[in-house]
Each structure stands twice: as C-alpha cells, then as structure tokens.
C-alpha cells in the first residue's frame, strides 16, 4: 500500500526482535530505513536482507556522541529524517531490594536515557526535513505494559518504562507548541514471541512451554507476535495518524483491561 512512501526512518534496536520487524514493515510500506543496534554487524546484516532502501549502523543508545553520529548518518545516506522509533531496551529482573544501584542505572541508561537522547537529537533533523518537503514527522517510543502495570520483581524496568510513557507526552506537547508537524506516541506491548524469550528458558523447558506459561497471564490466552506491534507502529508513524499525539497504544492481549 506504500503507506510510508517517501518517508525516512531510523529504528533503534533493529538487529532482531520488534525493531527488526518494524524496520521490515516500514520498508515494505515504502520507507527508507536506517537500522541501528549496539550489535552493529547484526544491524548491517538485517538491513542487507531488507534491500537497497535500508542500511545498518552500530549504535549504543546510551552514548550522546553515537546518537549524534546516527542522526548524521540518516541525513548522509537518505537526505533527512521523518520517523524515529526508540525501540532499544533491556529488562533486568529484580525487586527494589534486590536491584543494585549499578543495575538500576544501567536499565535506565538504555531504556529511558536512550529515548531522551533520541528525541533530543532527532527533532531538529525531523523539523528540518518536514519543513523542507511539507510532510510530517513522528517519534514512536516503545514502552511496555510494564510501564503502566507494575510488578514487585521488575523495579528498574517498571520505572524506566513508566518514564518513557510520560516523556512521550512531554515531547508531544513540546513539538505541538513549536508548531512542528511532528507527533510523538508510545506503544505498550506485553510478552512477544521474540528472541528475548530465550532468557525465560530453563533446563528442560522448551520455548513452546515458555510461550504457553506466559500466555496464561494474558486474557486472550496467547502471547503476541512481532507483527502485532509492527502494524501498530506503521499506523502511528503514517500520515493516517496525523491527529494522534501524546497517545498510548496498548498491545497487550487485554492485560490493561483487567
């Protein structure tokens, strides 16, 4: 349908999982995409599979210098930027008592500081690009249902993802106040069938066992597929969502309804 024809996107954490699927769907809808990841070779390989309208770039989202370089790379390769997806993130389990200060800071550095840096440094180029071509831009921050519903065993992750949720609203209002044609929204997924599920596997437990166990915590009885998030992302960064900003899309199988 080419819903993103003419758009230029940067997706972080795109060597695998949700980031990769979003990049694939964006490219399939006509966008040119820069896939960034701390796993630089993985991002380059993933981009090569997508085709000539994609490129990969090594990128640690906790580094301000690397954010500046990634934004500059999007401009160098594609001439500007319309879409930023802040997807890179980690989830480290631990209660408030079990979590070390080092672990707390590490989770926040990736999951929250990385989103702040991305928004801060992408907005000027998105503004420049959209004002030059008369189009509109969008920032999409991947939070989590854990940023809305807390767990006693995920203190740092809950805090960081809740921060992403509210930062998104602040960015949306800032862009609106500047009369920029830039929206900012967040997506809040629950368990998804991505490589991160490997972290849940114990000896003698299959991935299907893990999926079934997690699915029992979801009203719909199953966990999500990366496409469930990717298609939601396509909508929110497309011109179809031009009047949607500061909003949250829960892709959680009904968990938030309980």
Lowest-pLDDT range of 67-71, 209-213, 224-228, 240-244: 209-213
Q: Residues 56, 35: contact at Cβ < 8 Å?
A: yes
Q: How far is CA 240 from CA 138, 182, 233, 235, 236, in A?
A: 11, 13, 11, 6, 7
- For residue 129, the Cα-to-chain-centroid distance in whole angstroms is 21
The model carries a pTM of: 0.96
Question: Is the backbone of residue 204 left (phi > 0), alpha (psi -120 to 50) or beta?
Answer: left
Cα separation of 89 and 152, whole Å? Answer: 20
- For residue 201, the Cα-to-chain-centroid distance in whole angstroms is 24
Express the helix, strand and coil content of the chain in percent, nearest 5 each: 50, 15, 35
> Is residue 114 over pLDDT 80?
yes
Stated as kind and residue range, the H or E segment containing 211 is: helix 207-215
Stated as kind and residue range, the H or E segment containing 182 is: strand 182-189
- Residue 210 is predicted with a pLDDT of 87
Question: Is the backbone of residue 81 left (phi > 0), alpha (psi -120 to 50) or beta?
Answer: beta
The chain-wide mean pLDDT, for the chain, equals 96
Q: Is 240 exposed, middle or buried (0-12, 13-18, 19+ CB in 10 A)?
A: exposed
Residue range 5-27, pLDDT digits in tens: 999 999 999 999 999 999 999 99
> Is residue 257 over pLDDT 80?
yes
Mean pLDDT of 127-148: 98
> Is residue 199 over pLDDT 70?
no
- Residue 206 is predicted with a pLDDT of 85
**φ and ψ of 31, to 5 deg:** -85, 155
**Which residues are the active-site residues?**
157
- Residue 177 is predicted with a pLDDT of 98
Extract the runs of DSSP E, i.e. beta strands, from the chain. Answer: 8-11, 32-37, 54-58, 83-86, 137-142, 182-189, 248-251
> Is residue 180 over pLDDT 70?
yes
Q: Residues 134, 119: contact at Cβ < 8 Å?
A: no
- Residue 19 is predicted with a pLDDT of 98
Q: How confident is the model at residue 150 (pLDDT cuts 50, 70, 90)?
A: very high
Cα separation of 23 and 136, whole Å? Answer: 19
- Residue 201 is predicted with a pLDDT of 63
- Residue 207 is predicted with a pLDDT of 83
More confident residue, 198 or 220: 220
Cα separation of 220 and 206, whole Å? Answer: 21
Q: How confident is the model at residue 196 (pLDDT cuts 50, 70, 90)?
A: confident
- Residue 15 is predicted with a pLDDT of 98
Q: How confident is the model at residue 170 (pLDDT cuts 50, 70, 90)?
A: very high
More confident residue, 38 or 210: 38
**φ and ψ of 248, to 5 deg:** -125, 135
């Amino acid at each position: 349908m080419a819903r993103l024809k003419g758009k230029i996107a940067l997706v972080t954490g795109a060597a695998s999982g949700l980031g990769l699927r979003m990049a694939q769907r964006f490219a399939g809808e006509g966008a040119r995409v820069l896939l960034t990841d701390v796993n630089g070779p993985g991002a380059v390989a993933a981009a090569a599979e997508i085709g000539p309208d994609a490129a990969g770039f090594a990128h640690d989202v906790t580094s301000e210098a690397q954010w500046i370089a990634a934004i500059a790379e999007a401009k160098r390769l594609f001439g500007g930027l319309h879409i930023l997806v802040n997807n890179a993130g980690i989830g480290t389990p631990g209660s408030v008592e079990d979590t070390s200060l080092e672990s707390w800071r590490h989770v926040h550095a990736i999951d929250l500081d990385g989103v702040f840096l991305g928004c801060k440094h992408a907005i000027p180029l998105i503004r420049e690009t959209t004002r030059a071509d008369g189009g509109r831009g969008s920032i999409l921050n991947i939070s989590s249902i854990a940023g809305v519903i807390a767990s006693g065993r995920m203190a740092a992750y809950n805090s960081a993802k809740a921060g992403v949720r509210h930062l998104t609203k602040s960015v949306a209002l800032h862009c609106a106040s500047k009369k920029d044609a830039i929206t900012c929204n967040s997506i809040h997924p629950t368990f998804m069938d991505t490589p991160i599920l490997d972290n849940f596997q114990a000896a003698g437990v299959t991935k299907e066992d893990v999926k079934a166990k997690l699915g029992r915590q979801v009203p719909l009885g199953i966990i999500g597929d990366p496409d469930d998030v990717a298609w939601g992302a396509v909508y929110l960064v497309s011109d179809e969502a031009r009047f949607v900003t500061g909003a949250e899309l829960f892709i959680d199988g009904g968990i938030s309804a309980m």
